[in-house]
Amino acid sequence: MSLRPVLQTRKAVAAIEGAGVKLHRAFGFQDPSELDPFLLFDDFRNERPQDFKAGFPWHPHRGIETITYVLAGSVEHSDSLGNSGTLGAGDVQWMTAGSGILHQEMPKGNVSGQMHGFQLWGNLPSAQKMTAPRYQDVQSKDIPEITDDDGTTVRVIVGEFWGKTGPVDGIAADPQYLDINIPAGVKKTFRIDTYRRAFAYVFDGQAAFADASQPTGILLEKEVAGQEVNIRDMSGNRTLVRFGTGDEITVQAGPEGVRFLLISGAPIDEPVAWHGPIVMNTRTELEQAFRELRNGTFIRPAH
């Protein structure tokens, strides 16, 4: 077994998207090779309806997949193909934009006015960029959740983990998408296939992620619930942790436990031509997409 080194930890930065939704962006619109096959990750968490109620009105996508995971509140969606629905707390929508789709996403708060969810963009390889669009809407009750002996719980949204398989399938990047909750002071190791690129996103509590340059038994310096934790290296709310190559990560939960997403996928390793919500392989393809948007031929007829 080889521990994946921690290449970088960084805080998500405040951003405004859609018609004025305040959110935090962990990565996106920078170097697309950094976390290939993933392009962008947003945390849209708000306590005030005025910060999200304007939503994400009609906009196009082509050449990518968007993955929306809701933790609190709901998101109403509709598209140019006539689909519509609502994502509630714990639900997931995996949308393959393929050859092109116009859609809108309108977040609605819960009874307390809170909204919390994530959106991840996954790239499509050139051979699948012009496939027919499709949705996979998954209700929370259909997502397997596993509880280990030490109290660690894992929701398996995509991929296989601890003998369970997530309900979303047929995804180009062969991803694994896990929602992990570790109790206070517990140290845990998770396997990740070596061929995958991987990152963690901490959104509740704190944790120390072991690095290949330090012994995994020394996460160090201060005891929390009988375990040693390196407080200097603790990753807290809205922190992205990017890993290098290896087949496992070790994480030590802080004094209040930790909840994070652990996401990995097979890199596509193709050229990227990207502007706004459209991601193609060449500038010519990108220009064609925007030309079709202007002349009304962006949406391909169903076959």
Per-residue pLDDT at 214: 60
Residue of 272, 290, 200 whose CA lies nearest to 39: 272
63 vs 1: which has the higher pLDDT? 63
Residue 37, preceding peptide bond in cis (omega within 30° of 0): yes
pLDDT at 220 > cutoff 80: no
Our CA angle for 19, 22, 24, nearest 5°, is 130
Structure tokens, 68: 């929306």
Structure tokens, 105: 């996403």
- Other Cβ atoms less than 10 A from the Cβ of 30: the count is 11
87 vs 81: which has the higher pLDDT? 87
Instruction: Give the tens place of pLDDT for each residue, 33-75.
Output: 999 999 999 999 999 999 999 999 999 999 999 999 999 999 9
Q: What are the Cα distances from residue 165, in Å, to 159, 178, 235?
A: 6, 11, 28
Per-residue pLDDT at 172: 74
Question: From its phi and psi, is residue 162 left (phi > 0), alpha (psi between -120 and 50) or beta?
Answer: left
Question: From its phi and psi, is residue 277 left (phi > 0), alpha (psi between -120 and 50) or beta?
Answer: alpha
User: Buried b vs exposed e over 55-78: b needs ≥16 C-beta within 10 Å?
Assistant: bbeeebbbbbbbbbbbbbbbbebe
Per-residue pLDDT at 265: 96
Instruction: Give the tens place of pLDDT for each residue, 270-283.
Output: 999 999 999 999 99
253 vs 302: which has the higher pLDDT? 253
Mean pLDDT of the chain: 90
Q: What residues does each domain of the chain span?
A: 6-265
Pick the CATH number of 6-265 from 3.30.1330.60, 2.60.120.10, 3.40.50.300, 2.60.120.260: 2.60.120.10
What span, in angstroms and rounded, lies between the C-alpha atoms of 133 and 300?
9
User: Buried b vs exposed e over 98-108: b needs ≥16 C-beta within 10 Å?
Assistant: bbbbbbbbbbb
- Other Cβ atoms less than 10 A from the Cβ of 122: the count is 25
Query: Sheet of 101-108: strands edge to edge?
Result: 56-61, 101-108, 74-79, 84-87
pTM value is 0.92
The residue whose two tokens read 């995971």 is 69
